[in-house]
Every structure is written in C-alpha cells, then in structure tokens.
Amino acid sequence: MSLVMQQLKETAAYIQSKYQAIPEIGIVLGSGLGNLISEISVEKEIAYAELPHFPVSTVEGHHGKLILGELNGKKVIVMAGRFHYYEGYTSQQVSFPIRVMKMLGVHTLLLSNAAGSVNPAYKVGDLMIIKDHISFFTANPLIGKNEDEIGTRFPDMSEPYSRELIEKAKTAGKQLGFHLHEGVYTAVTGPTFETRAEYKLIKIAGGDVVGMSTVQEVIVAVHAGMKVFAVSVVTDIGIREDDNIITHEEVLAAAKEAEPKLTALFKALV
C-alpha cells in the first residue's frame, strides 16, 4: 500500500472511531461562509488539529474543524474552513480532506468559495454557479504516482461540475427567488490579489471570477468518481478604474452579507 493510501485510511479510521454514521454529502465552506453550520443537526465536531495527517487551517474566516451530522435528512460531513496552496501546503495536502471524504462514503461534494469578479455584469454579493474552471496557474494535485485504488491516471475533465446538479441548483434558485449566474472560475495561487494586467489576462482567457481555492479539491473529487457542485460568492470586483485596493476584511464582510443565500441554496441541494 502506498504512503498516501495508508495515511488516508488512518485518517478515515480515526473519524470512524468517533462517528459511526456514513456521510453521503461532503460540503466545503469558503472564507467567511460558515453560516450553514447553524442549520446542521450537529452530531460530532472534530478539530483539524486532532486528525492524523490533516493540515491545519491558518486563515481568518476559516474555523478549522470537521462537522458531522444531518442536514435536511441527509448525513453530511462539512469542512468549516479549507486549506490553500498559499499557506505553504502542497496541492496534495490541500486536497487530502476530499479523498478522506471519499473513504468515508461521500458520493457528492458541494463546494463554496469567495471570489473576485472580472465579469462586469457581476456585483458584490452575487452567487455564481461554477460551470467550468481554468487551473493552469495552480499545481495539479494528481502530479506524482497515480493512486490506482482511487481513480485512473488520466481522468476526463470535460464535465468537472455535474450538469445535473447545476440544473437542480438553478431550479432551487428560482424557487428561492434569487438570481444565479453561471460562469468560469479561474484559480490562482495567491496570497496576493491580482494586478490589473492579471485581471485583464484572466478576462481574456474566459474567466468570470478568480480565486485561490477549489480547483484542486474538484480535480481529486472527479478523479475519485464523486459528483461535484460549486458556487462562488462574488466578494469584490477585480477591475476597477477608480480604486483597485482589495482587503481580506472586505472579502469577509461581503461573504457574510451573501451567506443566507448560499445557505438556502445548499440546504435545497442537499
């Protein structure tokens, strides 16, 4: 058995020793987007620091714990806080928790993130369903020896985000009475926000929003055969002629404002 598989099994076994139910749906909550936890019937909380081989979240707005319980009648496992490449973790470490979810029985993954818009039609507080992504700017987590036990060496990425789940989300959005954009998420390493020239490049390349997370998680989820749905909360506007200063505090404040919509959408999807 490879070292990676051994570590995954040890982490999964530790979680199973604390919580016996099998979660069906995995949820990752991005910067400032922890409100969904209040809707969960929490059965167990485990701090990341407790988990063998697990990284620890170092960014403000990320709680740093696993929440296990029930949401709308389904068993869920929720990451309150994720890991980022810019924190100094490898892309394999960033995506390690998603593989652990797979080991625990998760078949569907719901992801959220805070992102900057390069699409002039988007406003701060809008939600964008990710229909596709561009990830040339970040390290692919599948680089290295393939874990054949999990998935194929060359996974197809023509539909990384489930069209079926996108349609369900659009229906849910209509029922909930708010508009959902659909667009392309561009992943960068961070932690710097982009220069004006970089925003322009991303726009030319076909990106609608830009962020520092998500795609590495999506790649390992698709590799493992999981269904994926992801949504970006627009927390800042990237190209502004007047003033292009963006702060993390501004991002967190905008995320907090949009949280109720995201929470309602994820509840409906579950």
What are the pLDDT digits (tens) for 127-182?
Answer: 999 999 999 889 999 999 999 999 999 999 999 999 999 999 999 999 999 999 99
Each residue's pLDDT tens digit, 18-72: 999 999 999 999 866 778 898 999 999 999 999 999 987 766 655 689 999 999 9
Range of the domain at 46: 3-269
pLDDT exceeds 70 at position 236: yes
| Parallel/antiparallel/unpaired status of strands 127-134 and 41-47 | unpaired
Q: Is the separation of the CB atoms in 204 and 123 below 8 Å?
A: no
Q: How confident is the model at residue 237 (pLDDT cuts 50, 70, 90)?
A: confident
In this predicted model, which residue has the larger pLDDT, 252 or 171?
171
What is the pTM for the complete model shown?
Answer: 0.93
CATH value at residue 42: 3.40.50.1580
**pLDDT for res 60:** 63
The one-letter code for the residue type at 64 is G
Nearest CA-CA partner of 32 in 114, 152, 148: 114
CA dist 135 and 234 (Å) reads 19
Each residue's pLDDT tens digit, 106-131: 999 999 999 999 999 998 889 999 99
CA dist 162 and 108 (Å) reads 10
Each residue's pLDDT tens digit, 186-215: 999 999 989 889 999 999 999 999 999 999
Environment class of 141 (CB within 10 Å of its CB; exposed 0-12, middle 13-18, buried 19+): buried
How many domains in the chain?
1
**pLDDT for res 142:** 97
